[in-house]
Amino acid sequence: MKVDWIAVSCSDTSLQAWVFGSSGEILDELTESISSPAKATDIIDRVSPWLDKATTPHRVSIIACGNIDHIPNYTCVPCAPLSAPILDGGIKDDRATLQIISGISQASPADVLLGAQVQIAGFQAKFPKFDGVLLLPGPHSVWAHVSADEIVSFQSFMTGELMAIISQSSSLKSCLGDGFWDDRIFDDALSEALSRPERLAAKLLSLRADHLLGQAKGGSAKARLAGLLVGAELAAAKPYWLGQMVGVIGADALTEIYINALKSQGIAAQHADPTEMTKAGLALARVQQLS
């Protein structure tokens, strides 16, 4: 296999990798579940079958991004998403050199990006004239103000993860029903939380009261939980989206929830596929590495 380089993207729960040939074509790809942040050695292990098949005369370059268990290096905003030095840490073995894309940090409010910046770089490569705000939904959603090829400021929210741990590990678990979804209940909860976001911890318990008093309709509590949490986030992130051009990078059910929430506030967001943006961003890092 004539391998040019390998791209890797790690989240807390999965590792995706692509092996590129010399004309930029994808020769093979893999997605694997992981249970904790990947270490550099884990990454080498996962792509090892490709390294064994590689006929390249020199070490294969692996470029990785995301939540990787190593001592990270950060570039402070404002900066380009893939600021120099873009590659940090990393290890070598006989067959490969692994380099990890450095994170981006912000002093105030204190915040870090570990992988979102790569998707943002990919988005900028695909839509070079975009000037506005990018939203990346996920366990930790990210709002980033992007202008003149730089990330100007950003803010992460724990909303998706709160939704997951409240659904799976809290006393509300038994109140949440079986996934029935009611758009109107979502919209009402979103409006409530947008206008009184500080009441979140009380509003969450109203789910239990509705359940105990028999006022919850079907499994509608799930829509209400999502509306309350996303509404509180939209209230806090208002300086990001109000009157702005917004792009959303995401493809899952949570992304759809955010897009609907923005729509209810009069924001028609531009939508981009996260895997495509990751690949485009990692390819840019490869170009920087060679230049």
Footprint of a second copy (CB under 8 A): 12, 72, 74, 103, 105-106, 109-112, 139-140, 155-159, 161-162, 165-166, 168-172, 196-206, 208-210, 212-213, 215, 229, 232-233, 235-237
189 CB-near residues (< 8 Å, 6+ apart): 203, 223, 224, 225, 226, 227, 228, 231
| Closest to a second copy by CB, 203 or 279 | 203
Work out whether strand 150-157 and strand 141-147 pair parallel, antiparallel, or are unpaired: antiparallel
The radius of gyration of the chain from alpha carbons, rounded to an integer in Å, stands at: 21
Q: Is the Cβ of residue 27 or residue 112 nearer to a second copy in the bound state? A: 112
Nearest to 58 by CA among 30, 86, 95, 111: 95
Torsion angles phi and psi, residue 62, rounded to 5: -115, 130
Q: Which is nearer to a second copy, 167 or 244 (CB)?
A: 167
Shortest distance, position 283 Cβ to a second copy, whole Å: 27
Shortest separation between residue 284's beta carbon and a second copy, angstroms: 24
Q: Which is closer to a second copy, CB of 70 or CB of 126?
A: 70
Least Cβ distance, residue 147 to a second copy (angstroms): 21
Minimal distance in Å, beta carbon 215 to a second copy? 6
In the complex with a second copy, the residue whose CB is nearer, 148 or 213, is 213
The answer to whether 28 touches 4, Cβ cutoff 8 Å, is no
Peptide bond into 109 cis (omega under 30): yes
Q: Give the pair of three-digit tokens for residue 145.
A: 């103000």
Omega cis (within 30) before 197: no
CB of 178 to a second copy, least distance (A): 20
Residue 23 CB, nearest approach to a second copy (Å):
38
Q: Residue 13 or residue 22: which is nearer to a second copy going by CB?
A: 13
In the 3-class helix/strand/coil scheme, how is 140-207 assigned residue by residue? CEEEEEEECCEEEEEEEECHHHHHHHHHHHCCCHHHCCCCCCCHHHHHHHHHHHHHCHHHHHHHHHHH
Q: Which residue has the tokens 């600021």?
A: 83
Task: Select 147 or 168, whichever has its Cβ closest to a second copy.
Answer: 168
Choice between 53 and 173, CB closer to a second copy: 173
Residue 180 C-beta: closest distance to a second copy, Å: 19
Nearest-approach distance from CB 91 to a second copy, in angstroms = 20
Query: Cα angle at 46 between 41 and 50, to 5 degrees?
Result: 115
